[in-house]
């Protein structure tokens, strides 16, 4: 049975090839994801990026009429760069000054214009304390 | 009290180290009494860990805020049940739960199997010892749950959205799943080390793997349901790294549960099975690492902590050591049989395995991509939802189809003629379903339509299998159809329980396709008395009410809902403002149609002081099938897990007399 000597290897090889083909197909049509940046790294960037930062007040405007306006600075870093952000669409419950958020969007004339509905807030660590109530 | 806890964990560390060192020595030099003593150490380590756990539970219940852990995770006002759930709420507590379950599972699995598989067990004990040692070390030296402080007046409390019954069950179920995967891992490595590579390690661990896998599956669905009804963004899965962390080991375990059957029946895929177990266990560790280390941007960003590097090192050691052992034992893992044809049940199972693993690796790639691209290109690139959706379709849809083909296709070699007979009806039903749905307008989403067609195919094969089996039982002399049906299932729990699980996956696929491919959304800013339409629903914003409760102000917009000209009553959606925690949470309004499984899902996104509300409304067809699928999944898992002495005896007898599985 020469024919049946190695179908297992053939099957695996073909399957691996198929999987790789799907990967190639994906990367060729979708072109990968967006870079994730901190506010201090944003200067001079064009194209859509993901911006992660801490919300700095004041928060003005209406997310469903003209856009919510606020600023973002680096999470935990020493950098003091702040980026003005305009956002419209759903605002997560946990959005407020001092929270870490992530938005997708692009820099337009010095303002980061976020894609509608792209905002994600990070949970203040699952069961962890609020900063103000921390006794340590 | 904290001293007792610390001492108990120190004892656990000592016992685990003893189980590793003495166990390995005894196994290598064949010292039977020493091996027995190492087993006892493993059992004792469970007892000492339980003492430590009891100390923490009692501290939680007594609101003893001199324990840093208790002060950080609870408060006086917290109801008792959530105070208990704080046990696994923080990092140190959840590590302690890991260790408790691990030593418990280890002690049980070793005790239950040492009579009939002694030469295997002697090598399993040191593996359990090694894993326990790692967790005990973390708890003693890096993240102690028994750190003390001057007790503050009150604890910091718990995030409101987590004060929820789902959080009593969802995290511990995931932990049972993660830890449960240690059992097949320990037995696989034990078998490799001992060189006794017969099927006994599979028989010994089958139910453990099934249990871990079922707990992971149910745990994830509970988490999804929680996200759907409580978090209130309109979805149930966001491909977040922490969610993926639980999905990946589940997929690897699913692959293992299938390929194990090929090894039992045909003696093939030995290396593959060992690798899958190693992958599943490593992914479970990786999942715990992801959840706890904060290395990736996640919605669930848990406390960032010092245990990350330790975990990464342990994962690296585990993978490297396991692969070396597999490589060393390769000559003993040769299969006596070969795949004979690419069209056979073995081949179908192999395709299933490759697809599951491909999906798993695609998800893994997506999870680690930001870290890799940061390391290579200097900036983190995040792969979004479209990446995961693409691979779910590319690998998930063929998997769905295979679920119909695999169980029915002949072993060894299937002829195309027999295929035509077997699959005539399923194919016809699938095509008819596809055409009918196309006429009804389901062509708006091709992946959705394909998913429905495949689902119809699989469901038909499952119904046919049950019908055929029941008829055969009746012909064999069962008194009634019901009797025939029950005896069919009880006599072959594994097979028919498996079919029930398949049915659950189909329901799940239909629910996911319906709610993601055929959903609709509408948004509008309404003043009181104004209305909006979505599909054939009309929503009239009636009034805005405010209520004060003990810990929150509840604002609710009341809407009158009509569908066509039928009055469906009213629905409330709004927000809770938690005074102490200074947090606002969306409280969504959901109206489920019991008959069609469709949900009307209302979010009051923004409530203005003048009473106008910005509403976001979804119609999600068939979404309730996802939750129904969870119940069916549980039923199927229970059927397969139910103790079956006859089957166990048969497997044991086959493994001990033949050594090699029958090639039938």
For chain B, say whether A20 makes contact (Cβ under 8 Å).
no
Instruction: Count how many pairs of residues, chain A against chain B, have C-beta atoms within 8 Å.
Output: 149
Nearest by CB: B300 against A50, A64, A123: A123
The more confident residue out of B360 and A77 is B360
Nearest CA in chain A to B87: A127
Q: Tell me, what's the pLDDT at B608?
A: 87
Among A26, A35, A127, which would you mutate to test the B interface (most chain B Cβ atoms within 10 Å of its Cβ)? Answer: A127
Q: What pLDDT, in 10s, does the model give residues B335-377?
A: 777 777 778 888 889 889 989 999 999 899 888 888 887 777 7
For chain A, say whether B494 makes contact (Cβ under 8 Å).
no
Whether the predicted pLDDT of B132 surpasses 90:
yes
Whether the predicted pLDDT of B294 surpasses 70:
no
Record the tokens describing residue A24, joined without a space.
């190639």
Nearest CA in chain B to A9: B339
C-alpha dihedral sign at B409, B411, B415, B418: negative
Q: What pLDDT, in 10s, does the model give residues B624-636?
A: 999 999 999 999 9
Band (B91; pLDDT cuts 50, 70, 90)? confident
Q: Are the beta carbons of A34 and B381 separated by less than 8 Å?
A: yes
Alpha carbons B264 and B206: distance in angstroms, whole number: 11
- Burial tier of B316 (Cβ tally within 10 Å: 0-12, 13-18, 19+): exposed
For chain A, say whether B168 makes contact (Cβ under 8 Å).
no
Question: Highest-confidence range of A76-85, B129-138, B193-202, B599-608, by mean pLDDT?
Answer: B129-138
The more confident residue out of B474 and A76 is B474
Residue B125 half-sphere exposure, CB side, CA atoms within 13 Å? 38
Q: What is the secondary structure of B223-289 as a DSSP string?
A: HHHHIIIII-SS-S----HHHHHHHHHHHHHHHHHHHHHHHHHH---HHHHHHHHHHHHHHHHHHHH
A64-69: Cβ within 8 A, 24+ apart: A64/A88, A64/A89, A64/B523, A64/B525, A64/B605, A64/B606, A64/B614, A65/B525
Whether the predicted pLDDT of B112 surpasses 80:
yes
For chain B, say whether A2 makes contact (Cβ under 8 Å).
no
Looking at the complex, report in whole angstroms how far the Cα of residue A52 sits from the nearest Cα belonging to chain B: 9
Q: Which of A13, A27, A25 is nearest to B354 (CA)?
A: A13
Q: Tell me, what's the pLDDT at B300?
A: 53
Whether the predicted pLDDT of B510 surpasses 50:
yes
Q: Are the beta carbons of B68 and A136 separated by less than 8 Å?
A: yes
- Report the pLDDT averaged over residues B501-519: 93
Band (B78; pLDDT cuts 50, 70, 90)? confident
Q: In chain B, which among 364-403 make CB contacts under 8 A with chain A?
A: 369-370, 373, 379-384, 386-387, 390-391, 394-395
pTM of the model: 0.90
The more confident residue out of B462 and B89 is B462
Record the tokens describing residue B258, joined without a space.
């299938």
Q: Are the beta carbons of A133 and B156 separated by less than 8 Å?
A: yes
Q: Tell me, what's the pLDDT at B450?
A: 94
Q: Cα dist. B522→B157, B532, B608 in Å? A: 37, 8, 19
Q: Are the beta carbons of A36 and B370 separated by less than 8 Å?
A: yes
C-alpha dihedral sign at B426, B429, B432, B437: negative
Q: Are the beta carbons of A134 and B156 separated by less than 8 Å?
A: yes
Band (A80; pLDDT cuts 50, 70, 90)? confident
Q: Tell me, what's the pLDDT at B337?
A: 75
Whether the predicted pLDDT of A1 surpasses 70:
no
Q: Are the beta carbons of B606 and A93 separated by less than 8 Å?
A: no
Q: Tell me, what's the pLDDT at B656?
A: 61
Which residues of A fall within a CB distance of 8 Å from B348?
none
Q: What pLDDT, in 10s, does the model give residues B247-262?
A: 999 999 999 999 998 8
Alpha carbons B47 and B589: distance in angstroms, whole number: 47
Alpha carbons B344 and A128: distance in angstroms, whole number: 53
Which residues of A fall within a CB distance of 8 Å from B152?
135
Which residues of B fall within a CB distance of 8 Å from A97?
none
Record the tokens describing residue B78, joined without a space.
């917290």
Query: In angstroms, how far is CA A8 from the centroid of its own chain?
Result: 42
- Burial tier of B91 (Cβ tally within 10 Å: 0-12, 13-18, 19+): buried
Alpha carbons A88 and A91: distance in angstroms, whole number: 8
- Report the pLDDT averaged over residues B549-578: 89
B484 sits in which H/E element: helix B481-491
Lowest mean pLDDT among A1-5, A16-20, B221-225, B235-239: A1-5
Q: Are the beta carbons of B299 and A11 separated by less than 8 Å?
A: no
Nearest by CB: A11 against B72, B73, B350: B350
Whether the predicted pLDDT of B663 surpasses 80:
no
- Report the pLDDT averaged over residues B157-183: 87
Whether the predicted pLDDT of A48 surpasses 90:
no
Record the tokens describing residue B91, joined without a space.
């990092």
Q: Tell me, what's the pLDDT at B661?
A: 40
Which residues of A fall within a CB distance of 8 Å from B369?
33
Which residues of A fall within a CB distance of 8 Å from B524?
none
Helix axes of B166-180 and B270-293: crossing angle, nearest 10 degrees: 140
- Report the pLDDT averaged over residues A99-110: 86
Q: Tell me, what's the pLDDT at A86?
A: 92
B539-542: Cβ within 8 A, 24+ apart: B539/B571, B539/B602, B539/B615, B539/B617, B541/B613, B541/B615, B542/B570
Q: Are the beta carbons of A32 and B383 separated by less than 8 Å?
A: yes
Q: Which of B99, B179, B156 is nearest to B303 (CA)?
A: B156
- Burial tier of B417 (Cβ tally within 10 Å: 0-12, 13-18, 19+): exposed
Nearest by CB: A33 against B301, B384, B395: B384
B576 sits in which H/E element: strand B566-578
Asked if B455 and B490 touch (Cβ cutoff 8 Å), the reply is no
Q: What is the secondary structure of B115-130 as a DSSP string?
A: TT-HHHHHHHHHHHHH
Whether the predicted pLDDT of B67 surpasses 90:
yes
Kind of pairing between the strands at A100-108 and A111-114: antiparallel
Lowest mean pLDDT among A78-87, B336-345, B498-507: B336-345
Band (A89; pLDDT cuts 50, 70, 90)? confident
Alpha carbons A67 and A89: distance in angstroms, whole number: 8
Q: Are the beta carbons of B390 and A30 separated by less than 8 Å?
A: yes
- Report the pLDDT averaged over residues B381-410: 88
> Scanning the structure block, which residue is given the tokens 């890991």?
B98
Q: Which of B343, B86, B349, B214 is nearest to B630 (CA)?
A: B214
Alpha carbons B133 and B42: distance in angstroms, whole number: 11
Looking at the complex, report in whole angstroms how far the Cα of residue B57 sits from the nearest Cα belonging to chain A: 16
Q: How much of chain A exceeds pLDDT 90, in percent?
A: 7
Which residues of A fall within a CB distance of 8 Å from B395?
22
Asked if B234 and B601 touch (Cβ cutoff 8 Å), the reply is yes
Band (B664; pLDDT cuts 50, 70, 90)? very low
For chain B, say whether A31 makes contact (Cβ under 8 Å).
no
* Total Cβ atoms within 10 A of residue B135: 25
Whether the predicted pLDDT of A4 surpasses 60:
no
Whether the predicted pLDDT of B299 surpasses 70:
no
Whether the predicted pLDDT of A134 surpasses 70:
no
- Report the pLDDT averaged over residues A113-128: 68
Looking at the complex, report in whole angstroms how far the Cα of residue B357 sits from the nearest Cα belonging to chain A: 10
Q: Are the beta carbons of A128 and B72 separated by less than 8 Å?
A: yes
CB under 8 Å to B184, separation ≥6 — which residues? B201, B205, B208, B209, B212, B256, B277, B280, B281
Band (B384; pLDDT cuts 50, 70, 90)? confident
Q: Tell me, what's the pLDDT at B418?
A: 81
Q: How much of chain B exceeds pLDDT 70, in percent?
A: 96
Among B67, B72, B162, B223, which would you mutate to test the A interface (most chain A Cβ atoms within 10 Å of its Cβ)? Answer: B72
Lowest mean pLDDT among B124-128, B166-170, B338-342: B338-342
Q: Tell me, what's the pLDDT at A32?
A: 62
- Report the pLDDT averaged over residues B195-224: 92
Q: Cα dist. A48→A67, A105, B147, B382, B424 in Å? A: 18, 5, 46, 12, 50
Among A7, A68, A126, A130, which would you mutate to test the B interface (most chain B Cβ atoms within 10 Å of its Cβ)? Answer: A126
Which residues of B fall within a CB distance of 8 Å from A104?
384
Among B339, B368, B370, B618, which would you mutate to test the A interface (most chain A Cβ atoms within 10 Å of its Cβ)? Answer: B339
Alpha carbons B161 and B227: distance in angstroms, whole number: 10
Band (A50; pLDDT cuts 50, 70, 90)? confident
Which residues of B fall within a CB distance of 8 Å from A130?
156, 581-582
Which residues of B fall within a CB distance of 8 Å from A117?
none
Q: What is the secondary structure of B608-645 as a DSSP string?
A: -TTS-EEEEEEEETTTHHHHHHHHHHHHHHHHHHS--H
Alpha carbons B54 and B97: distance in angstroms, whole number: 11
Q: Kindly report the average pLDDT of chain B as a whole number.
A: 88
Band (B580; pLDDT cuts 50, 70, 90)? low
- Report the pLDDT averaged over residues B418-434: 89
DSSP state of B108: H
* Total Cβ atoms within 10 A of residue A5: 10
Nearest by CB: A125 against B71, B301, B605: B301
Q: Tell me, what's the pLDDT at B659?
A: 46
Looking at the complex, report in whole angstroms how far the Cα of residue A38 sits from the nearest Cα belonging to chain B: 10
Q: Which of B352, B362, B353, B358 is nearest to B239 (CA)?
A: B362
Q: Tell me, what's the pLDDT at A7?
A: 65
Looking at the complex, report in whole angstroms how far the Cα of residue A35 sits from the nearest Cα belonging to chain B: 4
Which residues of A fall within a CB distance of 8 Å from B235?
none
Q: What is the secondary structure of B488-553 as a DSSP string?
A: HHHHTHHHHHHHHHHHHHHHHHHHHHHHHHS-EEEEEEE-TT-EEEETTEEEEEEEEEEEE-SSEE
Band (A28; pLDDT cuts 50, 70, 90)? low
- Report the pLDDT averaged over residues B478-486: 86
Q: In chain A, which among 72-131 make CB contacts under 8 A with chain B?
A: 90-94, 100, 102, 104, 120-130
Q: What pLDDT, in 10s, does the model give residues B141-165?
A: 988 999 998 888 888 877 776 778 8
> Scanning the structure block, which residue is given the tokens 């830890």?
B179
Among B145, B268, B299, B552, which would you mutate to test the A interface (most chain A Cβ atoms within 10 Å of its Cβ)? Answer: B299
Q: Are the beta carbons of B338 and A63 separated by less than 8 Å?
A: no
Q: Cα dist. B510→A89, B385, B564, B599, B631 in Å? A: 29, 20, 25, 14, 15
Looking at the complex, report in whole angstroms how far the Cα of residue A116 sits from the nearest Cα belonging to chain B: 13
Looking at the complex, report in whole angstroms how far the Cα of residue A109 sits from the nearest Cα belonging to chain B: 23
Alpha carbons B383 and B372: distance in angstroms, whole number: 12
Asked if B79 and B105 touch (Cβ cutoff 8 Å), the reply is no
Whether the predicted pLDDT of B303 surpasses 60:
no
């Amino acid at each position: 049975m020469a024919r049946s000597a190695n179908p297992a290897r053939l099957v695996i090889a073909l399957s691996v090839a198929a999987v790789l083909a799907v990967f190639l197909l994906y990367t060729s049509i979708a072109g990968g994801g967006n870079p994730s940046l901190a506010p201090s790294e944003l200067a001079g960037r064009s194209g859509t990026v993901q911006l992660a930062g801490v919300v700095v007040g004041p928060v003005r405007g209406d997310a469903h009429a003209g856009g919510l306006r606020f600023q973002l600075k680096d999470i935990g870093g020493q950098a003091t760069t702040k980026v003005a952000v305009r956002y419209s669409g759903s605002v997560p419950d946990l959005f407020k000054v001092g929270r870490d958020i992530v938005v997708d969007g692009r820099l337009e004339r010095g303002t980061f214009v976020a894609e509608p509905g792209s905002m994600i807030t990070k949970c203040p660590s699952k069961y962890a304390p609020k900063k103000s109530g921390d006794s340590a | 009290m904290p001293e007792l806890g610390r001492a108990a964990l120190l004892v656990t560390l000592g016992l685990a180290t003893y189980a590793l060192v003495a166990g390995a020595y005894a196994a290598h030099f064949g010292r039977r009494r020493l091996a027995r003593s190492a087993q006892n150490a493993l059992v004792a380590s469970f007892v000492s860990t339980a003492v430590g756990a009891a100390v923490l539970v009692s501290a939680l219940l007594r609101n003893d805020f001199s324990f840093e852990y208790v002060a950080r995770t609870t408060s006086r006002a917290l109801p008792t049940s959530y105070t208990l759930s704080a046990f696994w709420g923080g990092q140190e507590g959840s590590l302690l739960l890991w260790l408790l379950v691990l030593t418990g599972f280890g002690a049980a699995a070793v005790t239950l199997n040492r009579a009939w598989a002694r030469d295997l067990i002697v090598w399993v004990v040191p593996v359990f010892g090694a894993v326990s040692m790692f967790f005990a070390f973390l708890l003693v030296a890096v993240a102690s749950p028994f750190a003390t402080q001057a007790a503050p007046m009150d604890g910091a409390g718990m995030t409101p959205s987590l004060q929820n019954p789902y959080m009593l069950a969802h995290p511990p179920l995931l932990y049972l799943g993660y830890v449960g995967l240690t059992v097949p891992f320990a037995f696989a490595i034990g078998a490799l080390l001992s060189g006794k590579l017969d099927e006994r390690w599979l028989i010994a661990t089958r139910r453990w793997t099934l249990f871990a896998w079922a707990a992971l599956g149910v745990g994830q669905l509970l988490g999804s349901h929680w996200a759907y009804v409580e978090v209130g963004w309109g979805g149930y899965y966001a491909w977040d790294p922490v969610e993926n962390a639980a999905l990946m080991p589940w997929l690897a375990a699913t692959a293992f549960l299938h390929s194990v059957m090929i090894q039992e029946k045909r003696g093939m895929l030995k290396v593959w099975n060992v690798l899958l177990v190693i992958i599943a266990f490593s992914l479970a560790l990786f999942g715990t690492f992801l959840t706890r280390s904060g290395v990736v941007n996640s919605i669930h960003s848990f406390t960032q902590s010092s245990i990350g590097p330790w975990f990464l090192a342990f994962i690296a050691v585990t993978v490297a050591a396991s692969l070396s052992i597999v490589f060393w034992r390769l000559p003993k893992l040769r299969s006596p049989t070969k795949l004979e044809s690419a069209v056979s049940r073995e081949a179908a199972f192999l395709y299933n395995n490759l697809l599951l693993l491909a999906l798993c690796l695609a998800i893994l790639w997506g999870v680690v991509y930001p870290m890799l691209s940061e390391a290579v290109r200097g900036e983190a690139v995040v792969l979004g939802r479209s990446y995961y959706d693409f691979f779910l379709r590319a690998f998930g849809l063929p998997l769905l189809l295979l679920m119909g083909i695999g169980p029915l296709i002949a072993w060894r070699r299937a002829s195309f003629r027999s295929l035509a007979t077997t699959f005539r009806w399923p194919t016809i039903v699938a095509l008819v379903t596809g055409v009918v749905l196309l006429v009804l307008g389901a062509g708006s989403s091709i992946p959705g339509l394909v998913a429905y067609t495949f689902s119809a195919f699989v469901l038909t094969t499952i119904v046919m299998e049950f019908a055929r089996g029941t008829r055969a039982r009746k012909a064999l002399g069962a008194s009634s159809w019901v009797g025939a049906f029950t005896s069919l299932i009880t006599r072959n729990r594994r097979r028919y329980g498996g079919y029930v699980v398949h049915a659950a996956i189909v329901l799940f696929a239909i629910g996911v396709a319906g709610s993601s491919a055929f959903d609709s959304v509408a948004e509008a800013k309404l003043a009181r008395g104004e209305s909006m339409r979505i599909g054939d629903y009309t929503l009239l914003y009636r009034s805005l009410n405010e209520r004060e409760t003990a810990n929150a102000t509840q604002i609710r917009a009341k809407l009158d809902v009509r569908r066509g000209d039928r009055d469906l009553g009213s629905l409330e959606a709004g927000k809770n403002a938690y005074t102490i925690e200074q947090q606002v949470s969306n409280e969504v309004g959901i109206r489920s149609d019991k008959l069609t499984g469709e949900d009307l899902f209302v979010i009051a996104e923004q409530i203005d002081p003048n009473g106008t509300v910005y509403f976001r409304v979804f119609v999600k067809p068939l979404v309730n099938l996802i939750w129904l699928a969870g119940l069916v999944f549980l039923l199927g898992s229970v059927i397969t897990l139910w103790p079956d002495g006859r089957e166990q005896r048969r497997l044991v007898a086959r493994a001990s007399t033949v050594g090699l599985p029958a090639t039938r």
